[in-house]
């Protein structure tokens, strides 16, 4: 029988100070019974000899000092797992909300997980075909990668993530694939969009969804991605699935982190976010990967909206330092009716080099996309120049680059939500577009490839 404490000394924001405690451990979970009889979960943030600092996930409204009863459970937050979690929908703390009965757990796993030994990792180098040219050809996604989508409010990042989930495949292999979805502070409609999309494709059968919606307690969000990743690790490393984890929206997660930090009166770092936000985000993102002696893998697509479309804001900035590249969505392209509006120049996949080439995609992949990058960059420069000096001031060569940039956006980047292009189609299309340019300007592709692929 666990001891109950009536010794709440003070309450501030989501925090409880409980006195005269005994034998409480750092990081353990407690339940708080409010005067109304409602029970809420909390986590121990600090332990002194006889005072404990407790953070309540669902906030402290309705709590008082005299009648709130605190019970420490002697363990951290856990997720009950079994193969039956597939096809289920949970709330942000891992409790079922789909009306079906509780999962009969095979085991209970600590949601914080442990750090993967870098020595045990296997370097991600298996090409994932998403069917989207701006990703497959230009910023290739590989198995075990963490590749976030940097977006802005009102941009179609959800459609893009859903399209990736729908179309992603590793070619020539009939391996088991599933999606784990973590929603943090998004609206009911956004969550429904994903649910419906998974239903349409049948992916829902194998998907696991954790939903913390906009009106759910903000602090709960701190646990949601960890719940999802614990489920993903179980499916990947114990059940051999290749798991795609979609986490949206990381911006809401970081806001919740700031809220707790402020309530604890910690010294704030940049823009009020706590100094440990980098480390905290890393404990989420670094759970992507592959392990040498395991079949499964975890690929992460976190989505975040850049406040004010600013890439240097702490949330995208720290994320970019941890993840292996980023896909940047551009408002300008969206206005020009380009879907997906991926701005390929600042986008990047750090793991591209080892996932492409002969035997993986095609021998000309690296060179031809390098040529596309260079030509598109030059075309955009020429267009800028034309704005200042007028079209007439451009040389003939620059004019052809400027025209190329337009066509590239219109035909290559833009492809529609339900178009699934194979990598060969993407590369062939690249060669077709390059025909617009004078041949002597194609310095980054080999002569033999021009002969072979430029039809």
Partner 1 sequence: MDIKGTAVISKSGRIKRISGPVIVAEGLEGVQMNEVVRVGKAKLIGEVVELAGKDVSIQVYEETSGLRPGEEVESSGSPLSVELGPGLIGSIYDGIQRPLDIVMKKSGNFIKRGIAVYGLPKDKKWSFRPSVKKGDAVKPGNVIGSVKETAIIEHKIMVPPGVEGIVHEISSGEFTVEEEVAVITGADGSKTGIRMYTKWPVRLKRPYNRKFSPVEPLISGQRVIDTFFPIAKGGVACIPGPFGSGKTVVQQQLAKWTDADVVVYIGCGERGNEMTDVLQEFPELEDPYSGEPLIKRTVLIANTSNMPVAAREASIYTGTTIAEYFRDMGYKVALMADSTSRWAEALREMSGRLEEMPGEEGYPAYLASRVAEFYERGGRVECLGGGREGSLSIIGAVSPPGGDLSDPVVKNTLRVVKVFWGLDDDLSSQRHFPAIHWLRSYSLYLDNINDYCAANIGKDFTDIRNTAMSILQKEESLQEIVRLVGEESLSDRDRQVMDTAKMIREDFLQQHAFDPDETYTPIGQQYRMLKSIINFYDTAVSAIEEGSRFENITILSVREKIARMKYITKDRMGEFDDIDREIKQQIKGTKDGSDNR
Q: Which of residues 28-87 bind partner 1 (CB under 8 A)?
A: 28, 45-50, 76
For 303, the token pair is: 């989505």
Report angle CA 82, 85, 88 to the nearest 5 degrees: 165
Question: Site residues for partner 1, window 164-193 (CB under 8 A)?
Answer: none
Peptide bond preceding 249 in cis form (omega within 30 of 0)? yes
**Among 175, 317, 425, 441, which residue interacts with partner 1 (rule: CB under 8 A)?**
317
Does 123 bind partner 1 (CB under 8 A)? Our answer is: yes
C-beta closer to partner 1: residue 158 or 369:
369
C-beta closer to partner 1: residue 25 or 153:
25
**Among 1, 104, 387, 388, which residue interacts with partner 1 (rule: CB under 8 A)?**
388
**Among 14, 94, 124, 152, which residue interacts with partner 1 (rule: CB under 8 A)?**
124
Question: Site residues for partner 1, window 288-307 (CB under 8 A)?
Answer: 289, 291, 293-294
**Among 10, 115, 240, 424, which residue interacts with partner 1 (rule: CB under 8 A)?**
115
C-beta closer to partner 1: residue 77 or 183:
77
CB of 214 to partner 1, least distance (A): 28
What span, in angstroms and rounded, lies between the C-alpha atoms of 148 and 161? 10
Residue with tokens 């059940």: 239
**Among 119, 202, 387, 418, which residue interacts with partner 1 (rule: CB under 8 A)?**
119
C-beta closer to partner 1: residue 286 or 428:
286
Question: Site residues for partner 1, window 126-155 (CB under 8 A)?
Answer: 144
**Among 92, 314, 341, 379, which residue interacts with partner 1 (rule: CB under 8 A)?**
314
Does 397 bind partner 1 (CB under 8 A)? Our answer is: no
CB 254 within 8 Å of CB 312: no
For 50, the token pair is: 């006889």
C-beta closer to partner 1: residue 193 or 278:
278
What span, in angstroms and rounded, lies between the C-alpha atoms of 8 and 56? 13
What span, in angstroms and rounded, lies between the C-alpha atoms of 403 and 338? 16
Does 385 bind partner 1 (CB under 8 A)? Our answer is: yes
What span, in angstroms and rounded, lies between the C-alpha atoms of 286 and 288? 5
Helix (H) or strand (E) holding 8: strand 8-12
Site size toward partner 1 (CB under 8 A) is 72
CA atoms within a 13 Å half-sphere pointing along the CA-CB vector of 121: 15
C-beta closer to partner 1: residue 76 or 105:
76
Does 266 bind partner 1 (CB under 8 A)? Our answer is: yes
Helix (H) or strand (E) holding 181: strand 177-186
Please state the separation of Cα 389 from the chain's center in Å: 42
Does 272 bind partner 1 (CB under 8 A)? Our answer is: no
Neighbour-count burial of 147, counting CB atoms closer than 10 A to its CB (0-12 exposed, 13-18 middle, 19+ buried): buried
N- to C-terminal Cα separation, the chain: 78
Does 3 bind partner 1 (CB under 8 A)? Our answer is: no
Does 9 bind partner 1 (CB under 8 A)? Our answer is: no
CB of 286 to partner 1, least distance (A): 4
Query: What are the backbone angles phi and psi of residue 69, rounded to the nearest 5°?
Result: -110, 130
Does 17 bind partner 1 (CB under 8 A)? Our answer is: no
Residue with tokens 């592709």: 445
Question: Site residues for partner 1, window 236-265 (CB under 8 A)?
Answer: 237
Q: Is the dihedral of CA 335, 337, 340, 346 positive or negative?
A: negative
C-beta closer to partner 1: residue 103 or 397:
397
**Among 35, 62, 346, 416, which residue interacts with partner 1 (rule: CB under 8 A)?**
346
**Among 318, 382, 413, 427, which residue interacts with partner 1 (rule: CB under 8 A)?**
318
CB of 154 to partner 1, least distance (A): 23
CB of 451 to partner 1, least distance (A): 18
Beta bridge partners of 246: 181, 301
**Among 159, 201, 370, 400, which residue interacts with partner 1 (rule: CB under 8 A)?**
370
Question: Site residues for partner 1, window 407-446 (CB under 8 A)?
Answer: 443
Does 113 bind partner 1 (CB under 8 A)? Our answer is: yes
Binding span for partner 1 by CB under 8 A among 153-161, 218-226, 284-292, 427-435: 284-292
C-beta closer to partner 1: residue 97 or 120:
120
CA-wise closest residue to 304 among 313, 316, 312, 314: 316
Neighbour-count burial of 238, counting CB atoms closer than 10 A to its CB (0-12 exposed, 13-18 middle, 19+ buried): middle
CA-wise closest residue to 79 among 204, 235, 203: 235
What span, in angstroms and rounded, lies between the C-alpha atoms of 121 and 243? 16
- DSSP structure class, residue 55: E
**Among 224, 326, 414, 415, which residue interacts with partner 1 (rule: CB under 8 A)?**
326
């Amino acid at each position: 029988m666990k001891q109950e404490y009536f010794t709440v000394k003070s309450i501030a924001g989501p925090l409880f100070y409980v006195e005269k405690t005994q034998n409480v451990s750092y990081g353990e979970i407690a339940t708080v019974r409010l005067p109304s009889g409602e029970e809420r979960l909390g986590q121990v943030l600090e332990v002194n000899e006889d005072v404990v600092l407790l953070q309540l996930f669902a906030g402290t409204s309705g709590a008082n000092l005299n009648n709130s009863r605190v019970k420490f459970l002697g363990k951290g937050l856990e997720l009950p797992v079994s193969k039956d979690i597939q096809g289920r929908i949970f709330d942000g703390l891992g409790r079922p909300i789909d009306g079906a009965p509780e999962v009969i757990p095979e085991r209970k796993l600590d949601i914080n997980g442990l750090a993967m030994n870098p020595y045990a990792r296997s370097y991600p180098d298996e090409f994932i075909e998403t069917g989207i040219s701006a990703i497959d050809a230009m910023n290739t996604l590989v198995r075990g990668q963490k590749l976030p989508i940097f977006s802005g409010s009102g941009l179609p990042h959800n459609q893009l993530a859903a399209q990736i989930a729908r179309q992603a495949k590793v070619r020539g292999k009939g391996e088991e694939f599933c999606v784990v979805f973590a929603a943090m502070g998004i609206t009911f409609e956004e969550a429904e969009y994903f649910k419906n999309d998974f239903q349409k494709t049948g992916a829902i059968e194998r998907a696991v969804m954790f939903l913390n919606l906009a009106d759910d307690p903000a602090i709960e969000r701190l646990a949601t991605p960890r719940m999802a990743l614990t489920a993903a690790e179980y499916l990947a490393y114990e059940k051999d699935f290749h798991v795609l984890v979609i986490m949206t929206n990381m911006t809401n997660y970081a806001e919740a982190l700031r809220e707790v930090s402020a309530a604890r009166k910690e010294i704030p770092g940049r823009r009020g976010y706590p100094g440990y936000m980098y480390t905290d985000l890393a404990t989420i993102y670094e759970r992507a990967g592959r392990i040498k002696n395991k079949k499964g893998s975890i690929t992460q697509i976190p989505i975040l909206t850049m406040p004010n479309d600013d890439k240097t804001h702490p949330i995208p900035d720290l994320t970019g330092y941890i993840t292996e590249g980023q896909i940047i969505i551009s408002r300008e392209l969206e206005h020009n009716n380009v879907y997906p509006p991926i701005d390929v120049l600042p986008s990047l996949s750090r793991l591209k080099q080892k996932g492409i080439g002969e035997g993986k995609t095609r021998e000309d992949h690296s060179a031809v996309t390098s040529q596309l990058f260079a030509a598109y960059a030059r075309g955009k420069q020429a267009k800028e120049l034309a704005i200042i000096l007028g079209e007439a001031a451009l040389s003939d060569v620059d004019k052809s680059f400027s025209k190329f940039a337009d066509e590239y956006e219109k035909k290559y980047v833009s492809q529609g939500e339900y178009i699934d292009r194979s990598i060969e189609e993407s590369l062939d299309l690249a060669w077709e577009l390059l025909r617009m340019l004078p041949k002597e300007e194609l310095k980054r592709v080999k002569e033999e490839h021009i002969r072979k692929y430029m039809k």
